[in-house]
């Protein structure tokens, strides 16, 4: 009898000391579930729906010489090739694409433990899985896939994700390349009903230093479809066995931004220093401010109705 | 048989003692919480979940041609401008601004953090964070605690800012280290969201969220997200983030006055 009482004391004390009042512990982190409408103001040019930025616009990207050379031989017609038609759609698309996000947890039914966060709502891309169960990344010899491999942890109520094993793709939708050695660290930081994603892309092949991008989203009651048809290979009429490209020194768009916006070429071609305030001094006497905005495809002047309110 | 009973009693005593210890530990934890509640709260400076002080440099990796150089008149891409806002922006006259001393209209709090600038951040006192920009040499004071703007209210470029270390859980718990800086600014003078005259009015509201992220290599990044709401000039709230990288020292600091052009 005395033993039973003692055991009961232990059980009650341990329960009161170690468990929250409602039984099972709450999941880690904060709630991210829901539909998040893109507010593409931070990078209105890079995240613009449609064709994306103009062809030779590398401003602010810490490109090395190899990355710049690879960018300059790129022709937008490459994404009409069956082999490359899905090149945009890597996990980096969360930072460079125009879409909103649908986020939901994948939980164990008995314990509620969050095994993964899922992010869908992407156009042309299957939902991305962010593994939260502590599983390791694959071996460095493992195959790289379009979806990459992403794990996540909560750091001070910010979801920090790390993506490896991506295939070669792009970090700007005008052909600025990312290699299969690129990794992405993304921070999902929620404040009230605003979600800001800060992405850091590291790529020893094409970048001299990490490339930081941010995007903001607003929680919306209008549900975004968690899944869409993934990118499908089709025939867009590109001649077989030919890769559309420009030979070195022959990209016809290399001076386009200079003509359209008066921006000197040393800025247009990017590099780490172009992202810093001090760079303005270098171009102050070379920049020619246009007298008025000129709309060109994929770079309109905006105006009323461009960004409708969200529900 | 007797030794078996003795052993059983000893085990029961051990279990009871362990239970007592755990219960006492739990009570001690509760007591600690009550003790903290009786102490005065730490100052905002002491309670800071991260150290925002030091020199920071903008990283202009996005919207480059709209931020690093003054864009063309009429270039409104990236701003949810309303018809009334567009009408005002279409009428913007840089020479007129310069003639009447309005060169600082694009350096008000709603647009300031998105400009190409360095930040110098210090604690002015235990409850006031001072944020200075070298671009346009502007100063923002972020007041914590129960600070209220002096009466009569006076409008200014940087307005009156009230700051708090906020929880991502909406004030319902979370580790102190999980907080972020939340700033509400009122009493603004009208100004420009962009250097080509895209306007915001005096009734615009400004809410800002500031995060600091530390990288494994010791580097630090501040992400400053602003939400500008101005139904007169905007069709929907303007949500924009700016990134800053921590600088080792003040060597990049380059004060330049406001300019209506460059």
pTM for the model: 0.89
Provide the residue-wise pLDDT of chain A in tens; the chain has 311 residues. Answer: 555 555 555 554 544 444 444 567 777 899 999 999 999 999 999 888 777 899 999 999 999 999 999 999 999 999 899 888 888 888 999 999 899 999 999 999 988 899 999 999 877 777 899 999 999 999 999 999 989 999 999 999 999 999 999 999 999 999 999 999 999 999 999 999 999 999 999 999 999 999 999 999 999 999 998 887 788 888 888 888 889 999 999 999 999 999 999 999 999 999 999 999 999 999 999 999 999 998 877 668 999 999 989 87
Contact B61 A300 (CB under 8 A): no
Burial, A3: exposed, middle or buried (Cβ in 10 Å; 0-12, 13-18, 19+)? middle
Contact B59 A2 (CB under 8 A): no
Interface of B with A in 39-78 (CB under 8 A): 49, 57-66, 68-78
Q: How far apart are the C-alpha atoms of B147 and B149, rounded to whole Å?
A: 7
Q: Does A187 touch chain B (CB under 8 A)?
A: yes
Torsion of CA A164, A224, A216, A307, to 10 degrees: 140
* Closest-CA distance of chain B to residue A84, Å: 25
Q: Does A239 touch chain B (CB under 8 A)?
A: no
Q: Which residues of A touch B8 (CB under 8 A)?
A: 3
Pick the closest to residue A195 from B91, B239, B129 (CA basis).
Answer: B239
ipTM above 0.85, yes or no: yes
Q: Which residues of B touch A158 (CB under 8 A)?
A: 168, 178, 211, 213
- Secondary structure class of B191 (helix, strand, coil): strand
Q: How far apart are the C-alpha atoms of A139 and A183, rounded to whole Å?
A: 14
The domain ranges of chain A are 34-220
Q: Is the CB of residue B121 less than 8 Å from the CB of residue B141?
A: no
**Best residue of B78, B112, B224 to probe chain A, by most A CBs closer than 10 Å:** B78
Contact B22 A305 (CB under 8 A): no
Could you tell me the end-to-end alpha-carbon distance of chain A, in angstroms, rounded to an integer? Answer: 64
- Give per-residue pLDDT as tens, B173-223: 778 888 999 999 999 999 999 999 999 999 999 999 999 999 988 899 999
* Closest-CA distance of chain B to residue A310, Å: 8
Lowest mean pLDDT among A6-15, B1-10, B24-33: B24-33
Q: How far apart are the C-alpha atoms of A85 and A55, rounded to whole Å?
A: 17
Contact A290 B72 (CB under 8 A): yes
Contact B16 A10 (CB under 8 A): yes
Q: Is the CB of residue A268 less than 8 Å from the CB of residue A258?
A: yes
Q: Is the CB of residue B71 less than 8 Å from the CB of residue A291?
A: no
Owner of token pair 């400004």? B206
């Amino acid at each position: 009898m005395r033993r039973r009482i003692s055991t009961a004391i232990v059980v009650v004390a341990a329960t009161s000391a170690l468990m929250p009042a409602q039984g099972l512990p709450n999941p880690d982190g904060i709630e991210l579930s829901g539909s998040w409408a893109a507010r593409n103001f931070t990078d209105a040019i890079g995240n613009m729906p449609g064709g994306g930025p103009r062809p030779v616009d590398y401003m602010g990207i810490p490109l090395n010489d190899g990355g710049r050379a690879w960018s300059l031989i790129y022709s937008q017609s490459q994404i009409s090739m069956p082999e490359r038609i899905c090149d945009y759609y890597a996990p980096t698309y969360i930072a460079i694409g125009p879409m909103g996000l649908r986020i939901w947890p994948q939980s164990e039914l008995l314990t509620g433990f969050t095994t993964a966060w899922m992010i869908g709502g992407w156009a042309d891309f299957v939902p991305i899985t962010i593994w939260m169960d502590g599983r390791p990344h694959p071996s460095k010899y493992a195959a790289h896939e379009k979806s990459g491999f992403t794990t996540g942890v909560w750091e001070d109520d910010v979801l920090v994700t790390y993506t490896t094993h991506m295939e070669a793709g792009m970090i700007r939708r005008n052909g600025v390349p990312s290699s299969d050695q690129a990794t992405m660290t993304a921070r999902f930081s929620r404040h009230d009903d605003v979600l800001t994603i800060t992405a850091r892309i590291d790529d020893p092949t094409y970048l001299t230093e990490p490339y930081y991008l941010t995007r903001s989203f607003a929680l919306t009651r209008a549900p975004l479809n968690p899944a869409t048809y993934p990118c499908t290979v089709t025939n867009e009429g590109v001649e077989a066995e030919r890769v559309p490209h420009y030979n070195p020194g022959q990209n016809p768009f290399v001076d386009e931004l200079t003509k359209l916006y008066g921006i000197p070429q040393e800025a247009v071609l990017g590099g780490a220093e172009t992202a810093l305030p001090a760079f303005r001094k270098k171009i102050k006497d070379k920049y020619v401010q246009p007298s008025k905005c000129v709309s060109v495809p994929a770079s309109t002047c905006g105006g009323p109705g461009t960004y409708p309110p969200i529900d | 048989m007797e030794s078996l009973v003795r052993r059983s009693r000893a085990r029961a005593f051990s279990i009871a003692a362990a239970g007592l210890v755990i219960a006492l530990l739990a009570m001690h934890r509760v007591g600690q919480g009550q003790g903290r509640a009786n102490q005065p709260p730490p100052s905002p400076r002491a309670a800071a979940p991260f150290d925002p002080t030091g020199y920071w440099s903008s990283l202009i990796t996005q919207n480059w041609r709209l931020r690093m150089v003054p864009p063309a008149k009429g270039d409104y891409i990236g701003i949810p401008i309303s018809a009334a806002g567009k009408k005002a922006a279409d009428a913007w006259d840089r020479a007129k601004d310069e003639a009447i001393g309005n060169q600082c209209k694009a350096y008000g709090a709603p647009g300031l953090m998105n400009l190409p600038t360095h930040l110098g951040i210090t604690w002015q006192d235990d409850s006031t964070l001072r944020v200075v920009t070298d671009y346009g040499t502007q100063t923002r004071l972020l007041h914590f605690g129960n600070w209220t703007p002096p009466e009569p209210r006076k409008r200014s470029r940087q307005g009156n800012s009230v700051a708090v270390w906020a929880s991502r859980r909406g004030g319902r718990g979370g580790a102190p280290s999980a907080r972020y800086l939340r700033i509400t600014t009122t009493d603004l003078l009208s100004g420009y969201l962009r250097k080509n005259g895209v306007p915001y009015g005096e009734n615009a509201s400004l809410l800002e969220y500031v995060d600091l992220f530390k990288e494994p290599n010791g580097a630090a990044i501040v992400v400053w997200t602003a939400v500008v709401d101005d139904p007169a000039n905007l069709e929907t709230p303007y949500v924009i983030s700016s990134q800053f990288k921590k600088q080792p020292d003040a060597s990049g600091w380059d004060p330049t006055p406001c300019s209506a052009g460059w």
